[in-house]
Amino acid sequence: MRRLSAALAAISTLAFTQVALAADMPSKAPAIAPAPIPPSWTGFYIGGDLGGAWMRGQDYAFADPGNAAFATCGPCLLPYSSPALSGDRDLSVLGGFHLGYNWQFAPAWLLGVEGDFAWAGLKSRASGQLFSDTVGAPGVIVAVPGSLLSFETEAEWLASLRARLGWIFQPNWMVYATGGVAWGHFKQSANATCPTITAGGCGFVGTTLAGAPFSNSDTSTGFVVGGGVEWQMPTTAFQFIPGRWRARLEYLYYGFDDVGVTGSSLFVTGTGAPVACRLPTVGSACSAQYAFGGNVNIQTVRVGLTYGF
């Protein structure tokens, strides 16, 4: 009996000792969650753009080296001419799409290439009068009463192929510079109206500039530079694929040289028959010319939504 009591006492002492030791041991630290992996910018992407664009007006002029208008609308003393007319500025909504490829390196830098296309609808207009040394005011160049000149340049669409260099200053934010080659489709039109007043003034009854309405459509090549800021959206309840949607704000400056034509001929008819030139011709027989100023500059500010693959 004494032996059994001693054994039970030893077992109880050992159990209490183990419980006390366990109580003194530090508790196990909770598991630390792994740090989230920063979103990658590398890969192909496609998106849409919407914003505004504005265009600086061109300079326009009318010349009559072949005496076409002079022959029709005389008897002015000198062939018709016009001062340089400056087109107004225009503001328009711009919309289109873009696609490209990004390569993230170093790890806060990005190189990429992007192409884009946008519909513009920008228009620049100017109007004025023809000038001549008339019979009524010999030796004085004055506006011909009843004459009218009108010009218009329209930028119908813009496209570009650009390189991009970006700096990722936060995992989800990037600023970038961009530049490359640009294309623009321009439509130009002009018209000249002669006065039709009685002989003795500066005009003949029933005569017109039959070829006066003029139009030209062409695609010009230029350059584009700009920059922007882009945000890669974090995972939200509305995104099934994390880190794939991006939003951007972008500014682009387009420059096009030698947009337009000089020396486009128009020919003159009278009442039912061509009118002979009254003076020796210069260039095309009995022709006049519209001149469109050479440079067109367009600026755009737009927002975009992009999906990366």
Which residue ranges make up each domain of the chain? 56-293
- Helix H or strand E encompassing 4: helix 2-24
Q: State the average pLDDT over residues 288-300.
A: 83
- Asked if 70 contacts 134 with a C-beta cutoff of 8 angstroms, the reply is no
Q: State the average pLDDT over residues 28-34.
A: 55
> Which of the two residues, 236 and 149, has the higher pLDDT score?
149
> Which of the two residues, 28 and 184, has the higher pLDDT score?
184
Q: Which residue has the tokens 């028959």?
A: 273
DSSP bridge pairs for 122: 155
Q: State the average pLDDT over residues 249-258.
A: 93
Alpha-carbon dihedral angle through residues 210, 212, 218, 224, given to the nearest 10 degrees: 180
Tell which residue, 75, 292, 67, 290, has the closest CA to residue 192: 290
Provide, rounded to the nearest whole percent, the portion of the chain with pLDDT above 90. Answer: 35
CA 274 from centre of chain = 44
Query: What does the mean pLDDT of the chain come to?
Result: 76
The total of other beta-carbon atoms located within 10 Å of residue 35's CB is 6
Predicted confidence band of residue 137 (pLDDT cuts 50, 70, 90): low
Predicted confidence band of residue 188 (pLDDT cuts 50, 70, 90): confident
Instruction: Give the pLDDT confidence of 103-119 residue by residue, as tens digits.
Output: 999 889 999 999 999 99
Angle among Cα 137, 140, 144 to the nearest 5 degrees reads 70
Q: How far is CA 128 from CA 24, 200, 204, 211, 213, in A?
A: 100, 24, 21, 18, 15
